[in-house]
Structures are given as structure tokens and as C-alpha cells.
Amino acid sequence: MLELRNVVKRFGGVPVVDGVDLMIPDGAFVALLGPSGCGKTTLLRLIAGFLSPDAGEISVGGKRLSAPGAVVPPERRRMSMIFQSYALWPHMTVEQNVAYGLRLRRLPRDEIARRVATICAAVQLDTLMQRYPGELSGGQQQRVALARSLVVEPQTLLLDEPLSNLDANLREEMRFEIRRLHDEFRYTTVYVTHDQGEAMATADLIVVLRGGRIEQTGTPEDIYGRPRSEFVARFVGGANVLPGRFAGLDAPFSIRLEDVALLSAAPAAGIAPIEGTVVRRVFLGSARDYVVEAGGEVVRITTPPQIDVQPGERVWLGFPPERCHRLEPTASGGE
């Protein structure tokens, strides 16, 4: 188990990681999700041992790895890290890049060859082992970085925005490849991203960060379907945050764009909908995106493409109670 207890890191006296407590089970895939400046990469570097915490401690399997003034160096942590740039040696072949960490460990030559061949086959590079990085596509270079990290058999794999340099199609392909390799080798994975789609597609557990603190931790289903705060509701997947009343008290609630019912006529029975006017309509291929002014609020709705209402038309909005989630108000401050 990877455990962080009250971890703090300051730069220039300003806390970038501010009292983080987190327990990651052995073999879990955890995504650190949040906007730029939320502290997720700093937290990853603290786990890797590249930075020393100003307070708190980090341990793996009960063994303390980091505390103020006492940090086990990265090369002694049984961790591998993949950066945005991949950091491949341009003058080395795929085979040489993948074998580099094993040669540093002075493993026998036949053991190196066996492990390199096995991992290159696992990431579908076995026919490209004599090519150089400049002769590979972005997706192939990413696979080399993965193979080089995995061939040393780490306990923990750390990934810092690893897909940000790829185009949309390759990003989607590599999401599933990273998850497939995790399921095959069952190492603990900590994955930093600002892309909620990547987090949802890969992770067992998502940790949403804001202002150096954990805003919410949960499964992808929990984070998306049951956000606890306005920030999480808006940041993960997009949601309407509207004023409401729960148990007689004023409180904001969230409802996902696809859960709002857009009606061209008021229903004859059931919960009274709110009347509004379509302000904007955008065709997205598999869906339509609407903005409606209703009851003094601006509401976004996503509908199937066959629902086609023109801007300026009157509509009625329905809010299914089971899809409405009470929120904690978002505190003021930076993200």
C-alpha cells in the first residue's frame, strides 16, 4: 500500500500540496485529476522522491520513503516514471532504450535479452526493436517509454500527463493500452491528468485535486454521478449547478447535462417543469447541445440529435429528482 499522511509542499512559502492524506491499495490504478496548478504533478514528484515534503510522510508497505529531511532517492524506490516528453535516447534503438535500466542494474546479458523480448511483445513492439525513436510514430514512442518503465519490474508506475502530446485518436487508443498493461502486470499505478475522459477510462479510483487539496476521492461512477461539491460537478463531465431547497434549506444542487429533460410542451401530469427559452443550439453529430434561459437561470442540456428545437422557441425543462444531487458550496480561492 502506498500511503501519504498530511503531506505538505511549499514553494516560496505558498503551499502547492496542502495536507494531503491518501491511501492507495497495492495493485490499484489511481488517477490524480485536476486543472493546471492544482498540485497534481508536484504530488507525483513527491511520491517519486524528486521533491522532499515540508511536512508529513510518504510510505510504501509500511516503509517510510519521504519525510522532511529524510528522503529515499528515486533509484531506490522500485518506482518507474513516464514523463510527457517520453525522454527516449535518440541514438539508441528501441531494444537499447528498453534495456537501458537493466544494463544499469548489471543484469546478465541473457536475462536482459529475455526480459526485453517479453515486454516488447507485450506492448506490440517486437517487430520494431531495431528502429530508432525518430523512426517511430508518437504512439510507438509512448509504447517504448512504457516498455522501458515496466521491464525493470517496478512496484509502482508513475505517469505524468503521458498522452498530452498525442492526437485525439492515439490518445484514445493508448488509454486502453495503458489499462490493459496494468491489468496484465498488476503494478500500482498513479496517473496524473487534467483530462477527465482519460481518468474515467483508466482508473479504479479518481482523486480530484483543487488548490493543493483533495476535493473528492471515489470510483469513476461516484465522481461523475455523485459529486460532493460545485467544483467537482463542474470540472468532471460538466454539470448544471442550480439553486434548490432540500429539507426546507437553500442549497445548490447539480444535474448532468444529459439528465435534464427538454420538452416542447408542458406535460399534462407529473412534476411541474420550468418554462424557458432556447438561447443556443449546437449540432455535435451524436448529440445536440442546448443553452436555455429558464427561471432566471442558464441551463445546458444535451439531447439525442433527433430532438431539434430552434433558438427562440419556448420549451419546458424537467429535473428528475433522482438525478439531482445536493452539493457542498465551493469555497472561494484559486484552483
Q: Is residue 332 part of a domain?
A: no
Q: Give the CATH number of the domain where residue 243 resides.
A: 2.40.50.140
Cell of 13: 512559502
Q: Is residue 286 part of a domain?
A: yes
Q: What distance in Å separates the CA atoms of residue 189 and residue 80, rounded to the nearest whole number? A: 10
User: What are the φ/ψ torsions at residue 101 (nearest 5 degrees)?
Assistant: -65, -30
Residues 202 and 258 reside in one and the same domain: no
Which pLDDT belongs to residue 268?
63
Residues 103 and 176 reside in one and the same domain: yes
Q: pLDDT band for 229, please (50, 70, 90 cuts).
A: very high
Is the pLDDT confidence value at 231 over 60?
yes
pTM of the model: 0.85
Which pLDDT belongs to residue 330?
58
Residues 279 and 321 reside in one and the same domain: yes
Which pLDDT belongs to residue 271?
61
Give the structural domain span for 103.
2-230
Which pLDDT belongs to residue 250?
85
Domain final position from 230, 253, 278: 230
Is the pLDDT confidence value at 332 over 50?
no
Instruction: List Cβ neighbours of 270 (8 Å cut-off, separation of 6 or more).
Output: 318
Residues 215 and 260 reside in one and the same domain: no
Residues 283 and 181 reside in one and the same domain: no
Q: List, for residues 146-159, the tens digit of each pLDDT value.
A: 899 989 989 999 99
Q: Is residue 335 part of a domain?
A: no
Pick left, alpha or beta for residue 248 (phi over 0 → left; psi -120 to 50 → alpha; otherwise beta): left
Q: pLDDT band for 138, please (50, 70, 90 cuts).
A: confident
Residue 42's H or E segment, with its range, is: helix 40-48
Which pLDDT belongs to residue 245?
75
Q: Give the CATH number of the domain where residue 23 resides.
A: 3.40.50.300
User: C-alpha angle with apex 66: 65 to 67, nearest 5 degrees?
Assistant: 135
Which pLDDT belongs to residue 203?
96
Domain final position from 213, 230, 247: 230
Q: Is residue 333 part of a domain?
A: no
Q: List, for residues 274-326, the tens digit of each pLDDT value.
A: 999 999 999 999 999 999 999 899 999 999 999 999 999 999 999 988 899 99
Residues 202 and 251 reside in one and the same domain: no
Residues 209 and 245 reside in one and the same domain: no
Q: List, for residues 250-268, the tens digit of each pLDDT value.
A: 889 999 999 999 998 877 6
Q: What distance in Å separates the CA atoms of residue 291 and residue 202, rounded to the nearest whole number? A: 31
Domain final position from 211, 230, 249: 230
Is the pLDDT confidence value at 334 over 60?
no
Is the pLDDT confidence value at 335 over 50?
no
Q: Is residue 249 part of a domain?
A: yes
Residues 220 and 284 reside in one and the same domain: no
Q: How many helices (H) and strands (E) does the chain have?
A: 8, 19
Lowest mean per-residue pLDDT among 34-43, 137-146, 326-335: 326-335
Q: Is residue 294 part of a domain?
A: yes
Residues 257 and 135 reside in one and the same domain: no
Q: Is residue 303 part of a domain?
A: yes
Residues 165 and 211 reside in one and the same domain: yes
Residues 243 and 179 reside in one and the same domain: no
Q: Is residue 48 part of a domain?
A: yes
Residues 274 and 127 reside in one and the same domain: no
Mean predicted confidence (pLDDT) in 24-35: 96
Quote the percentage of the chain above a pLDDT of 70. Answer: 96
Q: Are 325 and 255 in contact (CB under 8 A)?
A: yes
Which pLDDT belongs to residue 333?
44
Report the number of distinct structural domains present in the chain.
Answer: 2
Q: What distance in Å separates the CA atoms of residue 277 and residue 271, rounded to the nearest whole number? A: 19
Q: What distance in Å separates the CA atoms of residue 189 and residue 203, rounded to the nearest whole number? A: 9
